[in-house]
A = this chain, B = another copy of it.
Amino acid sequence: MNVNRYAENPLITPKDVPPSHPDMRVIGAFNAGVARVGDETVLVLRVAEQASADEDAVGVPVYNPAHRTVEVHWFKRSDPHYDFSDPRAVRRKDTGETVWLTSMSHLRLARSRDGRHFTVEEKPFLAPETPYEAFGVEDPRVAEIGGVYYITYTAVSDHGVAVGLAATRDFRHVWRLGLILPPENKDVVLFPERIGSHYYLLHRPAPRGLGELDIWLAESPNLRAWGNHRFLLAPRKDSWDSLRVGGGAVPIRTDKGWLILYHGANEKNEYAMGACLVDLGDPSRVLARSAEPILKPEALYELAGFFRGVVFSCGAWVEGDVVHMYYGVADESLAGADLSLRDILDSLA
């Protein structure tokens, strides 16, 4: 697989992003949904912020919908009840449960004409606002359907990790369409057009008991209500995607089928991107799947950072044979790479 990483990588780093509030510090500018608006590339970027640092304590920012403010809860690092070893979360030592996140994310726009140099907007585009977003909004994907850009995103709160839908026509005004999937679910990508009489999406439930971290398919008459849930793709033992898989970019229509770029991770939490192909007329039929990743962490900015060894794409757009893929690196910054569509299709078993 020929991967042409951009020489400008990483394209956007935390220091390129002004914080949403003087008391906050941007620690991540990564996982971005991608839209083409005229000849502009618009990224809907996940921006993660922490409360100002304290060596002895971990600050947990939480949006309070009643007061419409962000409050910071401080945990002493010496507190024996909690495990702080994962930089992303505070866990209860007795049950291992994630109880808080150490950062809060919002969505921010970044725009570019050449696809490599981006101007990041000053203010958040979609920031936590509902009780389901109290711990943040994360990992947006953007699908353009009938002139409307639909954004599926992860809504995180003490109610769980759920999936929100928002829409915009102009990337200025955005409106929410509610939670389209209940906890625990994430990695939702909409197919960019109806197939037959229904809309389709990919989702990734995280069940408590039976079941793995699989990709599922669902269908809808109206984009807001979803049913006919069907299993689509599982992790593969002894493979780079042995522990979890999840949808990445919005599916790409090719003459061989819908091309799905997905992420997978193994037991070491090493994230890479793979591809699979599903039937154009019946997306529940998996036609082919790549044995090896199409992109895996190799560059320095992919191997080092906040959470090492992660490449995680939420969006790409296609120009002729070129897939312009944007992807988060090390849960910290944003990078881009060009891949050949034909190369990807040829690599599918």
Contacts and interface: CB of A to CB of B under 8 A. Distances in A.
A200 B305 CA distance: 45
A183 B210 contact: yes
A229 B97 contact: no
A143 interface: no
Nearest to A210: B160
Given A220-B225, A224-B228, A183 B161 contact: no
Contact of A211 (B177, B184, B207): B184
Given A220-B225, A221-B221, A225-B220, A211 B183 contact: yes
Contacts of A162: 229
Question: Of residues A180, A181, A231, which shows the largest number of chain B Cβ atoms within 10 Å of its Cβ?
Answer: A231
A31 interface: no
A184 B205 contact: yes
A321 B169 CA distance: 53
A185 interface: yes
B229 A203 contact: no
Given A206-B208, A207-B206, A225-B225, A131 B231 contact: yes
Copies in the complex: 2
A158 interface: yes
Interface residues of A, number: 45
A222 B179 CA distance: 18
Given A224-B227, A225-B226, A211 B178 contact: no
Contacts of A230: 178-179
A209 B179 contact: no
Nearest to A216: B182
Question: Of residues A160, A179, A183, which shows the largest number of chain B Cβ atoms within 10 Å of its Cβ?
Answer: A183
A114 B159 CA distance: 44
Contacts of A226: 225-227
Contacts of A182: 181, 185, 203, 205, 216, 218, 229
Interface in A201-257: 203, 205-211, 214, 216, 218-222, 224-231
A160 B98 CA distance: 21
Contacts of A99: 210
Nearest to A208: B206
A305 B228 CA distance: 37
A157 interface: yes
A37 B228 CA distance: 29
Given A222-B221, A225-B219, A227-B225, A210 B135 contact: yes
Contacts of A181: 182, 229
A195 to B, nearest CB: 15
Interface string A258-270: 0000000000000
A242 to B, nearest CB: 15
10 contacts: A99-B210, A132-B231, A162-B229, A179-B230, A180-B227, A184-B209, A206-B208, A220-B225, A220-B227, A225-B226
